[in-house]
């Protein structure tokens, strides 16, 4: 995990930040933060070339995965591309542990997988 990546905790998310979930589709389906944008880590470089791009450089982005490793890599990449991005410390596990709301596909009980 890159050491010099901007990081925020679940209790200090910037107001109005876009949450970018970079987990795999099965992880997303099982439990996610309502309103987050889902782009799996491996698809992000390709998706950023689409018009319109899914992320704007002037948007505050908080990147999330299960524990923070993948999201730290994506955050570092986004920062190198000129985006304002921060890694969510502890990822979805920290979000769940803090008791924050989640949703899941099909009305299932949300869980972090």
The set of catalytic residues is: 65
Angle made by CA atoms 31, 37, 39, in degrees to the nearest 5: 90
Collapse the DSSP code of 9 into the 3-class scheme (helix H, G, I; strand E, B; otherwise coil) and give the result. coil
For residues 35 and 17, is the Cβ–Cβ distance under 8 A? Answer: no
Instruction: Provide φ and ψ at 41, rounded to 5°.
Output: -50, -45
Q: Roughly how many angstroms between the first and final C-alpha of the chain, as a whole number? A: 20
């Amino acid at each position: 995990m890159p050491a010099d990546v901007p990081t925020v905790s679940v209790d200090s998310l910037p107001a109005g930040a876009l949450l970018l979930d970079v987990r795999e589709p099965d992880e997303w389906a099982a439990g996610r933060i309502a309103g987050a944008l889902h782009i799996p880590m491996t698809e992000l470089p390709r998706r950023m070339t689409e018009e319109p791009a899914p992320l704007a450089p002037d948007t505050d982005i908080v990147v999330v995965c299960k524990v923070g490793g993948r999201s730290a890599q994506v955050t570092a990449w986004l920062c190198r591309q000129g985006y304002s991005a921060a890694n969510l410390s502890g990822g979805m596990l920290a979000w769940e542990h803090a008791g924050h709301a989640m949703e899941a596909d099909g009305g299932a009980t949300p869980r972090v997988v």
